Amino acid sequence: MALSSAFRERLEHMERTRNQRLAQLQAEKELQANKSQVLESKLSDIRSMEQRCFLLDHTIASRNLKILALHSEINRLDSKYTAHLQHLRDLKGEVEELEEMEKEKERFYELKGVEMEEFRENVKKFVVELEMKVDQLRKRVSELKSTFIKLQGDNGVLGNSELADAEMRRSELIAVKESLERSLALNSQVRSQLQNQLQSI
């Protein structure tokens, strides 16, 4: 009876130990399952974060490309602006040069207008002088004709004094004629020069 009781107690102890061990194993199994779930959740979070990091890297790379493109466009626009600014300065210089040329042209026209007016006045005076000289020549020619007619009326005989007087008047007429020709030539030359200057404007 004592053996049976001891054996039973031992069996019960073993049963309790086995049950405790099974409970402990079950708890460890559940703990391991929980750990696995936590680990799987963390791995899932890591994969999600890696995916987000990949998307962010892609977004950053895309934006960097856009930044490079914008930087290149800015440089191109800066070069274009510089070129246009230089062109504008060149045009401004040309405009200022043309304005100065226009002012010079106006001053030249004004000066030439004064010269032309003086020239007209000189021509008028010259014409009056020529008319006076022509009248004088006509009078002298008439006097010479009268002298020759008178001499012819005296049997065509000329004295030394009369010949000398006639020769002197002839020399005077030739000198006046040459003077008139020189004046006319000078007048024509001046007029031609003024016309050339006006045409070159």
pLDDT in tens, 38-76: 888 889 889 999 999 999 999 999 999 999 999 999 999
CA 183 to chain centre: 52
Check residue 159 and report its DSSP letter: -
Domain boundaries of the chain, sorted by first residue: 2-200
Determine the Cα–Cα distance for residues 178 and 141; give it in Å rounded to an integer: 16
- What digits encode the pLDDT tens for the residues 148-200? 666 655 544 445 665 666 667 677 777 776 777 777 777 677 667 766 665 56
What's the pTM value of the predicted model, to 2 decimals? 0.39
Instruction: State both tokens at 76.
Output: 């191109």
Determine the Cα–Cα distance for residues 168 and 160; give it in Å rounded to an integer: 12
Q: Please name the residue that has the structure tokens 């070159």.
A: 200
